[in-house]
Amino acid sequence: MPELGAEHWRTARVSALAEYTEVSAGLIGHDCVPLTTAETTGVGMPAGFARYLSAASRMDRISVTSVASQAEYGGWKEMLHGIGFEGPELRLQPLACEISLPTQSELESFESQHRTTELPLVVVVGSHEPRKNHLAVLRAVEKCWDAGLRFEILFIGGNSWNSQRFDNRVEELRSQGIPVRTASAVSDSDLYSAYKIARFSVYPSVNEGFGLPVAESLMLGTPVITSEFGSMADIGRGYGALLVNPRESDDIARAMSELLTDDKLYEDLVAASLSYSAKSWDDYARETWEFLGA
């Protein structure tokens, strides 16, 4: 199972196959968000995820995608001892990240489509669901503008469940003259151009199995403001990330202010990001298949 399967009819069948047949059963464990931060998930997801974990308990192996997901699945595996289950073997196999450097024409195309000012650009990548913490980012944007800092911000990602409050806040800030824009279904070239043109990106999620936008930003030499814990900190610490408490909009605003005004800090983070590297998707696929298909 490469992804979450929350439907009861599917997890029941997978559980039966894993427990009562001779097949080798395994899955890729991305995170335990519906358990650890259930308040950020849609109605019904925690219950569906519990059934998924019931099937997972019968598996032989789980490939976990980050140190953070290893901790989550490791804690769950310890719980299984209470019902007499040993639980599956866990192996840390972090996700990959590959990017393409945008060409000059791609950069110019992005500028013409998505830029509205000559101000520094800040980019936020991810769907507008509660877990991504975009309301806190908007509050930090407002605080920075109230303090006299001037920049434009672009959110790249589609709407998700419970995104109406985000949409409303975007309109409120626009009415105040703050250049906040959103874009969805962008091409890879536009996404990479956004990272490349941006002064920095912001990704203060409250829970991630991996945090791909952190890696993408760093691979393009763009500093990123991200959360001080979990997989995001594991990726970014020492590699061009400024770590913040995502539950405090004041801390996000502080970091944004520093990257907008402190050129020495900004240049140091750019230099640090250039040393970041990640495995290819081919390498990830090969090592994961070798483990799960053993």
Do 128 and 252 belong to one domain? yes
The whole-number average pLDDT for the span 226-235 is 96
pLDDT tens profile 83-107: 999 999 999 999 999 999 999 999 9
- What local confidence, expressed as pLDDT, does residue 264 receive? 98
The two tokens of residue 284 are 């990830």
pLDDT band for 34, please (50, 70, 90 cuts).
very high
Number of structural domains in the chain: 2
- What local confidence, expressed as pLDDT, does residue 160 receive? 78
Sign of CA dihedral 185, 232, 269, 121: positive
1 belongs to a structural domain: no
3 belongs to a structural domain: no
Q: Which residues form the domain of 37?
A: 8-96+281-292
Q: Can you give the CATH number for the domain in which 235 is found?
A: 3.40.50.2000
pLDDT at residue 161 greater than cutoff 80: no
The whole-number average pLDDT for the span 233-254 is 97
- CB within 8 A of 17, min separation 6: which ones? 23, 25
Do 149 and 212 belong to one domain? yes
pLDDT at residue 6 greater than cutoff 90: no
246-271 residues labelled b (16+ CB within 10 A) or e (exposed): beebebbbbbbbebbeeeeebeebbe
The whole-number average pLDDT for the span 139-151 is 98
The whole-number average pLDDT for the span 6-25 is 92
- What local confidence, expressed as pLDDT, does residue 293 receive? 86
pLDDT band for 76, please (50, 70, 90 cuts).
very high
- CB within 8 A of 274, min separation 6: which ones? 221, 240
| pLDDT greater at residue 163 or residue 288 | 288
Do 285 and 269 belong to one domain? no
Three-state secondary-structure class, residue 148: coil
Do 178 and 219 belong to one domain? yes
* Cα angle value 247/123/192 (rounded, 5°): 130
90 belongs to a structural domain: yes
2 belongs to a structural domain: no
Do 189 and 86 belong to one domain? no
Do 85 and 115 belong to one domain? no
pLDDT at residue 5 greater than cutoff 90: no
110 belongs to a structural domain: yes
233 belongs to a structural domain: yes
pLDDT tens profile 255-276: 999 999 999 999 999 999 999 9
pLDDT tens profile 38-66: 999 888 899 999 999 999 999 999 999 99
Sign of CA dihedral 277, 279, 281, 284: negative
- What local confidence, expressed as pLDDT, does residue 82 receive? 96
Do 140 and 219 belong to one domain? yes
Do 24 and 154 belong to one domain? no
- What local confidence, expressed as pLDDT, does residue 95 receive? 97
- What local confidence, expressed as pLDDT, does residue 162 receive? 81
Q: Please provide the average confidence, as pLDDT, over all residues in the chain.
A: 95
Do 30 and 153 belong to one domain? no
Do 115 and 90 belong to one domain? no
* Cα angle value 175/181/186 (rounded, 5°): 160
